[in-house]
Amino acid sequence: MRQIFLDTETTGLYPDQGHRIIEIAAVETINRRPTNHHYHQYINPEREIDAGAQEVHGITLEFLQDKPLFEAIADDFLAFIKGAEVIIHNAPFDVGFLNSELGRLGLDPVQKCCDSITDTLKMAKDARPGQRNNLDALCRHFGIDNSRRTLHGALLDAELLAEVYMALTRGQDSLMIDLEHEAPSQSNMVVSEGQVKLKVLMADEAEHAAHEAYLAGLGDTEKPSW
């Protein structure tokens, strides 16, 4: 099972107002185990960054001037996520920006490339109704160290999201173990001594006397001819 944990940083909040992606990161796990394989890219947005957005991620336009345009990285990005389950915190936000960027290039929506998209914000709200469920709050709740997260960054946030998802779905670990180490069939199971305790019932006097009489009677019978 291949899963990709994805995050983006942008110039602002709304792609329909012309805002663009400036950083994208995707972290791979297979069978719920990190592979240390990831995709990470800064992108030149060809436009100004809103002050509020810059306060969140700290990325400046000057830093992005020599970075590639989205059209230059689109194929590599799509190849990395192809066929995987893509997991995003607040998926409508990131998917909206990705599809805006892909639409500019005449490419299909991101949903056409990956196997499925899972929103961990919705999962967290279902599991923890009425509580704060942003990434920082979930890290605190699950005891995940997010001390490096002084600013939002796509790669670090994708890595933290992978840890949060594993904590949210911890029961699936045992399922994966069962799939990898299939239990032996009933016919092959061996019960060693000491595993089963048997309750012993002692015969009473009447039963003991009946048994002795039965044994005495056996002495009067002839042995078989064979």
pLDDT digits (tens, 9 = 90+) for 74-129: 999 999 999 999 999 999 999 999 999 999 999 999 999 999 999 999 999 999 99
Q: In this predicted model, what pLDDT tens digit does every residue of 2-37 receive, in sequence order?
A: 999 999 999 999 999 999 999 999 999 999 999 999
Residue type, 165: Y
- Phi–psi pair at 34, nearest 5 degrees: -65, 140
Residue 53 to residues 62, 68, 165, 187, Cα–Cα distance (Å):
15, 20, 25, 63
Confidence of residue 201 (pLDDT cuts 50, 70, 90): low
- Evaluate whether 77 touches 107 at the Cβ level (below 8 Å): no
Q: What is the pLDDT of residue 78?
A: 98
Percent of the chain past pLDDT 70, that is, above it, reads 76
pTM of the model: 0.76
152 is catalytic: yes
Q: What is the pLDDT of residue 61?
A: 96
Q: Which of 38, 57, 152, 208 is catalytic?
A: 152
Q: Please report which helix (H) or strand (E) contains residue 53, including its range.
A: helix 51-57
Q: What is the pLDDT of residue 184?
A: 46
Average pLDDT over residues 151-174: 90
